[in-house]
Amino acid sequence: MLGEDHSLLVEFPEYKEAISELVGSDEVFAKDAKRYDELDAEIRSLEERGTPIDDDAMHELKNERASLKDSLYSRLGGASVS
* Number of Cβ atoms within 10 Å of the Cβ of 70: 10
pLDDT (tens digit per residue) in 4-55: 889 999 999 999 999 999 999 999 999 999 999 999 999 999 988 877 788 8
Give 52-60 contacts, CB < 8 A, sequence gap 24+: none
What does pTM read for this prediction? 0.85
Instruction: Spell out the domain ranges in the chain.
Output: 8-77
Q: pLDDT value at position 82? A: 47
